[in-house]
Homo-oligomer: A and B are copies of this chain.
């Protein structure tokens, strides 16, 4: 079953040709980044916060602390901090992951656009506890910083307690991809004789910058050094 569920929310109304509904496309978009934009409702108003994520076959895991106000603050949604047995902390949220691949420079301003890959996931988040939380934090850490879970000191019980990890099902998701040259290459504007094409963007890891407090002689591990010069998305 490679089809993503198509609900009223995730059915594409515009740019229908850009919609993708297969799971592989979803995983590809999620794999190409590690910061998402989490949308919640706080005090009746939408709030969009950037936060770190990871994922497995069925769930997106987001670091929930940045959204703590809206997800758990009694002054906002009316909900309080989750108690034992209460694993639903909020109503439906929307998580969007976007990679901007380039500018589409057409002959006309009207046909200008952006090449991008974007995934939207809707779901009711659950706060994870115990082993599930630890495993989700491992997934999230390894997604953003591969190799660090085993290299760095793993969380203490106290640190884990101070960490909020939300799990959101990937069941209701959609992917949009826009790629390729401008659309007006065979229209009347082609006769204007203007240059047209794509100005691509690349997001690349640079050389690691050691902590100024790092003592001399501490070797840079391969799993970090190897990323320098590679593309994130």
Contact = CB atoms under 8 A, between A and B. Distances in A.
B198 A208 contact: yes
Interface in A21-49: 34-35, 37-43, 45-49
B197 A9 contact: no
Specify how many copies of this chain sit in the oligomer. Answer: 2
B112 A152 contact: yes
Given A105-B148, A114-B35, A200 B210 contact: no
B201 A206 contact: yes
Given A94-B46, A122-B45, A221 B195 contact: yes
Interface string A179-208: 001100110011011111111111111111
A27 to B, nearest CB: 19
A95 interface: yes
B9 A42 contact: yes
Interface string A109-120: 110101010101
A195 B216 CA distance: 10
A14 interface: yes
B203 A203 contact: yes
A163 interface: yes
A214 to B, nearest CB: 6
Given A8-B43, A13-B73, A185-B213, 8 more contacts: A46-B46, A109-B155, A109-B159, A110-B155, A114-B144, A152-B194, A201-B206, A203-B203
20 contacts: A8-B43, A9-B47, A14-B68, A35-B98, A39-B94, A41-B45, A102-B209, A103-B145, A107-B152, A107-B153, A109-B159, A110-B156, A112-B144, A112-B145, A153-B194, A195-B220, A196-B214, A200-B209, A201-B203, A202-B204
